[in-house]
């Protein structure tokens, strides 16, 4: 199942693929967090859902819980891209800048699967020029360049929206969100400035990042604001 991100994609973020039926009313895809799942490849074998999957195996250095070596972590994503249900794979920009990461991205693309080049900052929002450079680099390495940073005030949130708009204006395909309470509204507003992916848990108690709305709420907000 292809995922090309020409339009906004709302992803139900989960470690449990049996959540998929409950996501169908609001989500365009399911982000499957392999790093949070008990037996991810068994879950992929058993998946018979309708929504395409984004496979993520988050690096512990960027807030994830993937185990094993970097090569094993990335290899699991290459394996995931072999499944027809997987339409995109999330690989951290830092990994894409290594030979192993670049090789896995090549395998993923050979399987007809999109690459989301992601970068995360759980401490702060970079200053404007750094954020611009980060989004440009991510968009250069991936089919979508993603930055999930942490806002502590309204200035941070505005910087994320401004960077999103600037990236979109220069023709880069990006996905952005400002994590945390101060950035929560950016999850609904960033799509208006060109952000192509939003993430929300089906169950509010199963958030995969700080400040996420639940799926139904984010779907409604983005719809009402005109972001999809």
Report the nearest approach of ligand DQA to the CB of residue 146 (Å).
6
The C-alpha atoms of residue 42 and residue 19 are separated, in whole angstroms, by: 15
Among 5, 23, 56, 160, binds ligand DQA (CB under 6 A): 56
**What is the Cα 168 distance to its own chain's centre?**
17
The C-alpha atoms of residue 201 and residue 214 are separated, in whole angstroms, by: 5
Among 32, 83, 193, 199, binds ligand DQA (CB under 6 A): 199
Helix (H) or strand (E) holding 92: strand 86-92
Interface with ligand DQA by CB under 6 A: which range of 74-82, 134-142, 155-163, 206-214? 206-214
Q: What is the DSSP letter of 214?
A: P
Phi-psi region of 214 (alpha: psi -120 to 50; beta: other; left: phi over 0): beta
Nearest residue to 176 via CA among 148, 143, 156: 148
The C-alpha atoms of residue 209 and residue 216 are separated, in whole angstroms, by: 16
Query: Is 146 one of the catalytic residues?
Result: yes
Among 19, 28, 90, 156, binds ligand DQA (CB under 6 A): 90
Q: Is 179 in the site for ligand DQA (CB under 6 A)?
A: yes
Q: Which of 26, 146, 185, 196 is catalytic?
A: 146
The response to whether 176 counts as a known ligand-binding position is no
Count of C-beta atoms within a 10 Å radius of residue 217: 15
The C-alpha atoms of residue 8 and residue 195 are separated, in whole angstroms, by: 7
Q: Is 79 in the site for ligand DQA (CB under 6 A)?
A: no
Q: Is 74 in the site for ligand DQA (CB under 6 A)?
A: no
Among 19, 31, 35, 121, binds ligand DQA (CB under 6 A): 31
Query: Is 120 one of the catalytic residues?
Result: yes
Interface with ligand DQA by CB under 6 A: which range of 76-84, 152-160, 208-216, 219-227? 208-216
Q: Per the annotation, where are the binding residues?
A: 31-33, 58, 187, 208, 212
Positions touching ligand DQA (CB under 6 A) are 13, 31, 33, 56, 90, 118, 148, 177, 179, 199, 208-209, 212
Residues with catalytic function = 120, 146
């Amino acid at each position: 199942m292809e995922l090309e991100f020409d339009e906004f994609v709302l992803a139900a973020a989960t470690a449990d693929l049996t959540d998929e039926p409950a996501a169908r009313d609001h989500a365009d895809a399911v982000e499957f967090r392999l790093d949070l799942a008990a037996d991810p490849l068994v879950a992929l074998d058993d998946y018979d859902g309708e929504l395409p999957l984004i496979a993520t195996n988050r690096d512990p250095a960027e807030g994830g819980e993937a185990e094993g070596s970097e090569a094993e972590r990335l290899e699991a994503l290459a394996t995931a891209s072999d499944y027809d249900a997987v339409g995109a794979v999330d690989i951290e920009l830092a990994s894409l800048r290594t030979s192993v990461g670049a090789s896995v991205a090549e395998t993923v693309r050979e399987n007809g699967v999109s690459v989301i080049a992601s970068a995360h900052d759980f401490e702060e929002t970079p200053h404007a020029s750094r954020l611009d450079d980060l989004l440009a680099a991510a968009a250069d390495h991936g089919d979508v360049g993603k930055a999930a940073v942490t806002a502590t005030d309204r200035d941070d949130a505005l910087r994320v929206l401004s960077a999103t708009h600037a990236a979109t204006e220069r023709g880069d395909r990006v996905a952005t969100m400002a994590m945390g309470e101060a950035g929560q509204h950016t999850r609904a507003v960033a799509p208006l400035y060109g952000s192509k992916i939003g993430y929300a848990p089906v169950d509010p108690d199963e958030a995969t990042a700080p400040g996420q709305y639940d799926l139904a709420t984010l779907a409604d907000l983005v719809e009402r604001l005109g972001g999809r």
